[in-house]
Amino acid sequence: MTISEQDLRELLRERSDVVPSSPDRVDAVKQRVRRQRRIEAAAVGAGLMAALVAVAAVVAPRLGDASPTPVPPATQSATPGPQVTGSATYDGIRMDTSGPATVHGTTPFTVTVTVTNTTPQEWRGAVDVGVHRPGPRPNAADNLFITSPAAPTDHVDIAQLPDGLTELDGVRSGDLVLAAGQTTTVTLGMQRATTTVAHPDIHGWVPWINGTPIDSLDPSGFSIVTVDPRDPEATCASFDVSSATEKRLPDQLLGAATATTAAATATPDWTEVPGLPASFAPSVFGADVDLVTLIDGLGTFGMEGVGGASSNKPDLTAPSYAATFVTYAGISPVDITFTGTCVDVDSTVAPLPMSGVLHTYRSDVGGILDCALVPPARSLALVAAAYCPAGSRARKAFQAS
Amino acid sequence: MAEWPEFSDFVAVRSPALLRTAYLLTGNWASAEDLLQTALAKCWRRWGRLADNPEPYVHATLVNTFLSWRGRKWNDEVPTGELPERLDADPTAAVDEREAVWQALSRLPRRQRAVVVLRYFEDLSEAETARLLGISTGTVKSQSSKALATLRVDDDLRSDRARNEVG
């Protein structure tokens, strides 16, 4: 049998034939929108600061000119018109950015970003460069696209700004790994889709440090269980994390598990195991603390962030041999000690010094357990072993633990 | 937060089809639901401007979100370490070739996979696929061709096919 186009069509239809239902999808989407707005309230503020820096770098020298600098007509060169340059520093990562001030039509253009790691440790991440331009994106085809094969990049749909009149759109570098003190230059090529009429003027560039991908900043499930001593929904002007402690067993909690007995000849049929707790988040509040700062703060403790706790299970890799498996996912409680200048929600008083402990959790602990094997001591797998068949080695280890 | 009754109606009616596409893009239902909700959340914010025909915008947002998605980081615990050798069964001997094709699809680069789904599941023309992905029709052709070629030379498929031929 060869793989014909018709085979592909049949396979794709067959695989997507049975669609699971999700009656709560609308509510889930609305919840995401609310959470994203909280993030953007913090993130866009930082982005706009960078844009202002970039624009100011161009505008400031001109303020002293007796006559305005004429803007040359647009050309079809790769980087037309006057150049915008600027720089910004996030968390010790300095970025110097340059690119055209205006772009018209479908002219391709490039933005150059010089990234310097000024921190004493290795930095891993990516760099986004957003185009700050007027007007909402009129249609889906109105994207900016990568043109530079030399720099593997992703398209990034960054955000529509809260005023509803401007939008950030941009591109992302490939993964960068910078040793302490190392500098590298990234050239990001962009081009408007040919279906559009013209580029509006670009207001400036927003360089963006992306230590974790933007999509994973979605704090789905992020919760502050308790905040002592103030209102859990406080908004903080400053937020400094002095310690973050991730608890391991026995405080880790199992949140999802499925089991299957896979035959080598069949596609495994994973089923939910009975008896799991209905929810492992005691209560969920809105988290209007400065989340970006919070995540940055956590980074200094070697943690990538918090949140994402849900019933998500690990990607299920089809076992390649016959056995009984349990997939599992859980959370690890995290205590974050902080000081900040915060104000309670809806309060009209000025922000006040505030300190306390946030009790939250991270959820990226999971795996697939072979019930014929003994899980490591003090691992979440050992908890998941409770769902292995009676008499199996894993189940016995759980009972003995 | 503004309420859009049409949004709820749209989600109720069009979600199954969109979820299918999301599933074929991501390869599993959990990620598909995540992708769909992410795309819908993006569209919600512009719903008032999408007028009478939001479907193309939602559709494009779904695909473009997938292309820009790096996925959630998953700090896998590996409780089993090295899995023991099993002598009682050849792990791939009886794997269905369609399953092998499905697995091979998951190894395709994202853009190629998107082209495959749009061309061969949604039956979009090359021009429609190009417009949605914001690439030229030539690129659609080359990506599609590369995807099919990759599937045909995928090691797993090749070995599977060889076994079938021998058997």
**Which domain CATH number covers B50?**
1.10.1740
On the question of pLDDT at A168 being above 50, the answer is no
- The answer to whether residue A314 neighbours chain B at the CB level (below 8 Å) is yes
> Per-residue confidence at B18, pLDDT binned at 50, 70, 90?
very high
| pLDDT at residue A271 in the model | 61
B78 part of a folded domain:
no
Report pTM.
0.39
Structure ipTM: 0.77
Cβ of A322 within 8 Å of Cβ of B89? The answer is yes
Choose, out of A4, A13, A19, the residue to mutate when testing the contact with B (most B CBs < 10 Å).
Answer: A19
B75 part of a folded domain:
no
| pLDDT at residue A153 in the model | 40
pLDDT more than 90, % of chain A: 1
B81 part of a folded domain:
no
> Per-residue confidence at B125, pLDDT binned at 50, 70, 90?
confident
Query: Using a CB-CB distance cutoff of 8 angstroms, which residues of chain A are in contact with residue B9?
Result: none
- Say yes or no: B59 and B118 in one domain: no
B 80-99 residues inside an 8 A Cβ radius of A: 80, 83-84, 86, 88-99
- Say yes or no: B64 and B101 in one domain: no
Q: What is the pLDDT of residues A254-304, one digit of tens each?
A: 655 666 665 544 455 556 555 554 333 322 222 334 444 444 455 444 444
Domain boundaries A46-57+79-214, CATH class: mainly beta
Question: Do the beta carbons of residue B4 and residue A37 sit within 8 Å?
Answer: no
> Per-residue confidence at A351, pLDDT binned at 50, 70, 90?
low
B 91-150 residues inside an 8 A Cβ radius of A: 91-99, 101-103, 116-117, 120-121, 123, 131-132, 134-135, 148
Cβ of A321 within 8 Å of Cβ of B97? The answer is no
What CA–CA distance (Å, rounded) separates A262 from B29?
Answer: 19
Q: What is the pLDDT of residues B73-122, one digit of tens each?
A: 222 233 333 333 333 334 444 346 777 788 888 878 778 889 999 998 88
B59 part of a folded domain:
yes
| pLDDT at residue B149 in the model | 81
Cβ of A15 within 8 Å of Cβ of B23? The answer is yes
Q: Among A113-117, A244-248, A268-272, where is mean pLDDT lowest?
A: A268-272
User: Where in the sequence is the domain holding B25, given as residue range(s)?
Assistant: 5-68
**Domains of chain A, residue spans:** 46-57+79-214, 219-400
Query: Using a CB-CB distance cutoff of 8 angstroms, which residues of chain B are in contact with residue A379?
Result: 77, 79
Name the residue among A5, A30, A195 with its Cβ closest to that of B120: A5
Highest mean pLDDT among A65-69, A157-161, B82-86: A157-161
